[in-house]
Amino acid sequence: MRLPHLLLALVVVAIWGVNFAIIKLGLREVSPLALGVWRFALAVFPWIFFVKRPEAPVRLIVLYGLLIFAMQFGFMFTGMKVGMSAGLSSLVLQLQVFFTIGLSVLLLGERPAFWQLAGAVLAFAGVGVVAMHVGGDVTLAGLALLVAAAASWGGGNVVSKLISQQAAAVSMLGLVVWGSLVALPPLTIVALIVDREAFLQSFTGLDWVSLGSIAYIVYLSTLFGFAAWSTLLGRYPVSTVAPFTLLVPVFGFLGSAVLLGEPLQGWKLAASGLVVAGLGLNLFGPRLFNSRGR
């Protein structure tokens, strides 16, 4: 990978990691579902007038938007609000890799390799460590909602794979913009039903921290991050680009420590080690086992 592209990959994963601390700052003044509405409204307008709808079946675009945007971020923002620290949120969300594998087995008939199963065991053991320390900045409801967010992301990944199989070339930016449009109505309706007063108050009297958080989430994490990442995937093999996502929890914990003052206890490091080891085994398993076979 050329040096400019290497630096771009590091910038993107740093933005995505620190994003969790930024979300936590935004949730101090904005309700979780309102933050989702802000995120997707600004990701849609005015871009929807300039970005062509992806040439894929409408039902798949709708399903993609519901799973990977409405459900993932609805669960994630709410989970972080009711009891999940920014650093741990960045870690637990990486379970999406193994939900993607599991759903691919169930829905697409794929067969998981041994190292993928072993990686899943390690990663879920790390989540088990988190569950053993419920209390303080971690609640059982928050953990469950983050796991649901990871499962939604995994479902969205499977739909994305179906889209790529049925369309020759799909613009990732177009999928983000039009998927965000799909996410807006259900998030707004649920917010008005569940917590109408807090939702409406989130659109008045926002301070600079809240506005800055929303701008970071929309323009850096979503539009720039996805566009840059799709560019890298277009230039290099997935096996070259994907390992950089292992650094997202690292930047997540660093960002939460610097911006929010979250402590890094030993059990958090142990949980991180297990999850990252599981992700690493999933990514590098083919090279490891093939080299041993030779």
Start-to-end C-alpha separation, the chain? 26
Burial bucket for residue 38 (CB in 10 Å: 0-12, 13-18, 19+)? buried
| Contact (CB, 8 A) for 28 and 209 | yes
The alpha carbon of 202 is separated from its chain's Cα centroid by a whole number of angstroms, namely 23
- Mind listing the pLDDT tens digit of every residue in the chain (294 residues)? 788 888 998 999 899 999 999 999 999 888 899 999 998 999 898 889 998 888 888 999 999 999 989 999 999 999 999 988 888 898 889 888 888 888 888 887 878 778 778 887 888 888 888 878 776 678 999 999 999 999 998 898 888 888 877 766 677 778 889 999 999 999 999 989 988 888 888 777 788 888 999 999 989 998 888 778 877 866 776 656 767 777 888 888 888 889 998 887 888 888 888 888 887 887 777 666 665 555
3-state percent helix, strand, coil for the chain, nearest multiple of 5: 80, 0, 15
- Residue 30 CA neighbour count, 13 Å, CB half: 26
* 230: its two tokens: 């799709």
Question: What are the distances in angstroms from CA 30 to CA 39, 81, 192, 195?
Answer: 12, 10, 14, 12
Model pTM score: 0.85
